[in-house]
């Protein structure tokens, strides 16, 4: 029994010596509460910071979007083309003072071979003879001689003289120059009788223009 009593007494003493843990539990719970409180506060601050950053970003983004230029169509530029103009024709040189006149209706198959102050010579294309050789050519000359041949009055009122010579093979048609625009004289066309028609000869001599500086042939 004594042994049992001793054991019980020691067990009771150990039980009395057991540390009371309630204060530690209280302190632990308080520390845990403070930790949770700090975490909650930090979480709220973090959320607020995120919200501020988000608002700032939204504000900046909003300002950027508002400031972004609005795409518009480029301004239309009207272009005016310079008016197209026809090339300016080269001025016609004045007739040379060294020419007797101007032929306006050269008969077909003939061309002007020479033109000096008294005579205008027309020859066939390819004729290489001298312009002073009148054989087989149409020769228009200004002369002071009186007219010869048959006198005719044209519908225009102008008078022409036609001389057809069967023996020589040449004929002439003459007309007085227009006064006072042309120098005084008789404009005579000499031509091979069978080269051109009489009407062609009359038309050629009456339509020709005698220049003011033309010099009549004497004799």
Q: Give 87-134 pLDDT, tens digit per residue.
A: 444 444 444 557 888 998 899 999 999 999 999 999 999 999 999 999
Within this chain, do residues 128 and 44 fall inside the same structural domain, yes or no?
Answer: no
pLDDT at 64: 47
pLDDT at 179: 85
Within this chain, do residues 121 and 205 fall inside the same structural domain, yes or no?
Answer: yes
Q: Are 139 and 115 in contact (CB under 8 A)?
A: no
More confident residue, 93 or 13: 13
Within this chain, do residues 125 and 37 fall inside the same structural domain, yes or no?
Answer: no
Within this chain, do residues 31 and 132 fall inside the same structural domain, yes or no?
Answer: no
Q: Could you report the per-residue pLDDT of 29-82, keeping only the tens digit for each? A: 665 556 554 554 445 445 444 444 443 444 444 444 454 555 555 555 454 444
Q: Are 158 and 207 in contact (CB under 8 A)?
A: no
More confident residue, 72 or 165: 165
Within this chain, do residues 145 and 202 fall inside the same structural domain, yes or no?
Answer: yes
Give the domain CATH number at 203: 2.60.120
Average pLDDT over residues 141-148: 93
Average pLDDT over residues 10-39: 55
Q: Are 107 and 200 in contact (CB under 8 A)?
A: yes
pLDDT at 99: 85
pLDDT at 188: 97
Within this chain, do residues 201 and 106 fall inside the same structural domain, yes or no?
Answer: yes
Average pLDDT over residues 187-212: 95
Within this chain, do residues 33 and 115 fall inside the same structural domain, yes or no?
Answer: no
Q: Is residue 218 part of a domain?
A: no
Within this chain, do residues 57 and 118 fall inside the same structural domain, yes or no?
Answer: no
**What backbone phi and psi angles, to 5 degrees, belong to 36?**
-65, -35
pLDDT band of 146, cuts 50, 70, 90: very high
Instruction: Please tell me the total count of domains within the chain.
Output: 2
Who contacts 194 (Cβ-Cβ below 8 Å, separation ≥6)? 169
For residue 98, which of 203, 215, 183, 216 has the smallest C-alpha distance?
215
Within this chain, do residues 203 and 142 fall inside the same structural domain, yes or no?
Answer: yes
Within this chain, do residues 118 and 183 fall inside the same structural domain, yes or no?
Answer: yes
pLDDT at 104: 87
pLDDT at 218: 76
pLDDT at residue 147 greater than cutoff 60: yes
pLDDT at 20: 56
Q: Is residue 189 part of a domain?
A: yes
Residue 38 is part of which domain span?
Answer: 23-68
pLDDT at 57: 43
**What backbone phi and psi angles, to 5 degrees, belong to 217?**
-85, 130
The structure tokens listed for 133 are 């050789």
């Amino acid at each position: 029994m004594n042994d049992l009593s001793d054991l019980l007494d020691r067990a009771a003493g150990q039980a009395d010596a057991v540390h009371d843990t309630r204060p530690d539990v209280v302190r632990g719970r308080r520390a845990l509460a403070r930790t949770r409180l700090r975490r909650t506060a930090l979480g709220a601050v973090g959320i607020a910071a995120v919200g501020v950053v988000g608002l700032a970003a939204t504000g900046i983004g909003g300002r950027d979007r508002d400031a972004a230029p609005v795409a518009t169509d480029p301004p239309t530029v009207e272009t005016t083309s310079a008016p197209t103009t026809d090339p300016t024709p080269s001025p016609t040189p004045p007739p040379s003072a060294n020419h007797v006149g101007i032929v306006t209706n050269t008969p077909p198959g003939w061309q002007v071979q020479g033109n000096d102050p008294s005579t205008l010579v027309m020859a066939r294309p390819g004729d290489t003879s001298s312009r002073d050789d009148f054989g087989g050519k149409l020769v228009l000359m200004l002369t002071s001689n009186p007219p010869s041949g048959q006198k005719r009055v044209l519908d225009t009122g102008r008078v022409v003289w036609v001389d057809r010579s069967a023996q020589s093979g040449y004929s002439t048609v003459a007309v007085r120059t227009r006064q006072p625009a042309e120098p005084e004289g008789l404009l005579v066309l000499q031509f091979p009788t069978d080269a051109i028609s009489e009407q062609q000869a009359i038309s050629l001599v009456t339509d020709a223009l005698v220049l003011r500086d033309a010099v009549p042939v004497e004799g």
